[in-house]
Structure 1
Amino acid sequence: MPRKIFKKYMPDQHKLRAHPSLRWLGEHLHDPNLWHLTRKSVSRAFLVGVFCAFLPIPGQMLVAAVLALFMASNLAISIGLVWLTNPITIPPIFYFTYRIGAWLLDSHIRKDISFHWDLATIQSEIAAIWWPLLLGSLLTGILLSLLSYVAVHWFWIWHVNRSWRKRKQIRATRSADQND
């Protein structure tokens, strides 16, 4: 079952509940729906985690935790998927989302940026790329999170059906062997 696949990589829920950085969630961490590995909770976790991974803001894990609480998705998977955007993948992913946003807004894609380490330059450069980056990130996050939700949902169904067919075949061969 897919549950076995996910359970192999899941952290212990008791350790997560006791983790100091998650204590602010209090009693919400004791909701069993946040820890279940069901088709619905894992699919929702992919929806939440992939969407939050594409948010160009600090605190993506915090947003994923809050959304996991509201959507009753698996908390650990929701937070773990945020790490799709990590220090190695952030530059290409956010450049790609910036390009999508600039294309949708029909704005000039900035390629030659002269950068100086002073507050005024940093503020002006961020202001110049913010709207295309935000739009591209939100659209990409929504699209990929919906695709991952559907993919996990259908993979789970396919995997369970395949397991049932295998069991049925095994029972049929056992009963045929016993009848002989």
Structure 2
Amino acid sequence: MPKKTFKRWMPDHQTIKDNKYLKVFGNLLQNANLWHLNRHSVAKAFAVGLFFAFIPVPFQMVLAAGTAIIVHSNLPLSIAIVWLTNPLTMPFIFYACYFVGVKILSVPEQHFAFHASWQWVVDSLSTIGPAFLVGCGVLALTFSFLGYFFIHALWRYQAVKAWKNRTNRINKNTRIK
């Protein structure tokens, strides 16, 4: 069952409740439904986490947590999935966003050299910014929907498979006796 797999990946409840950035949610974090693992809460968590993983803003975890509280998805999983974009994967993901934006807007691809400075970010907003932001939005929505429906399908497949195995086991035991 996927539930066992997700339980292994999830961070500890107390670790999340003690996070200094998530203290802003106060008593909302005490809602027990935010910590349950079921098909709907996990699918929504994937949708929320994948959406904010592709949105290039600081404090993605806080935004994912707030959205998880609003839509009643699994909070730890929503936060953990945001870390799909980490310092190792971010250049590849954000270049893919830029590439998708270029194709959607039908603008020529511009060559650029990244510099970790505020001035570079400000200068880039007018050149590569529109294509990058459009690509981020499109990929955020696309992967959010795909993640939601994939988890629903996977969970259902596993449940049907477990049910068939249980039925076969019961039928085997009744034939033997």
Do they superpose with TM above 0.5?
Answer: yes
The percentage of aligned residue pairs carrying the same residue is 36
Gaps of 5+ in 2: none
**Correspondence for 1:78:** 78
**Correspondence for 2:145:** 146
Measure, in 1, the Cα distance between the counterparts of 2:32 and 2:100.
39
Measure, in 1, the Cα distance between the counterparts of 2:116 and 2:103.
28
**Correspondence for 1:133:** 132
Aligned residue type for 2:165: K
Measure, in 2, the Cα distance between the counterparts of 1:160 and 1:131.
43
**Correspondence for 2:104:** 104
Structure 1 pair 114/52, CA: closer, same or farther in 2 (3 Å)? closer
- Give the CA deviation at 1:95: 0.8
In 1, are the aligned partners of 2:42 and 2:77 still within 8 Å (CA)? yes
Measure, in 2, the Cα distance between the counterparts of 1:157 and 1:140.
25
Q: Any idea what the Cα deviations from partners look like across 1:62-90, whole Å, max 9, x if unmatched?
A: 11111101110001111111111111111
**Correspondence for 2:163:** 164
Aligned residue type for 2:61: M
Measure, in 1, the Cα distance between the counterparts of 2:19 and 2:36.
19
In 2, are the aligned partners of 1:56 and 1:133 still within 8 Å (CA)? no
Which has the higher mean CA deviation after the structures are superposed, 7-16 or 55-64?
7-16
Measure, in 1, the Cα distance between the counterparts of 2:72 and 2:51.
15
In 2, are the aligned partners of 1:54 and 1:138 still within 8 Å (CA)? yes
Gaps of 5+ in 1: none
- Give the CA deviation at 1:119: 6.0
In 2, are the aligned partners of 1:2 and 1:156 still within 8 Å (CA)? yes
Matches of residues 1-180 of structure 1 in structure 2 within 5 Å?
1-111=1-111, 113=112, 122-178=121-177
Measure, in 2, the Cα distance between the counterparts of 1:5 and 1:105.
40
Measure, in 1, the Cα distance between the counterparts of 2:98 and 2:29.
35
Structure 1 pair 73/58, CA: closer, same or farther in 2 (3 Å)? same
- Give the CA deviation at 1:107: 1.8
Aligned residue type for 1:135: V
The two structures, once aligned, show a CA RMSD in angstroms of 1.9
Aligned residue type for 1:103: K
Higher-Rg structure is 1
Aligned length: 177
Which has the higher mean CA deviation after the structures are superposed, 13-22 or 29-38?
13-22
Which has the higher mean CA deviation after the structures are superposed, 25-34 or 119-128?
119-128
In 1, are the aligned partners of 2:10 and 2:80 still within 8 Å (CA)? no
In 1, are the aligned partners of 2:21 and 2:62 still within 8 Å (CA)? no
SS in 2 for 1:154: helix
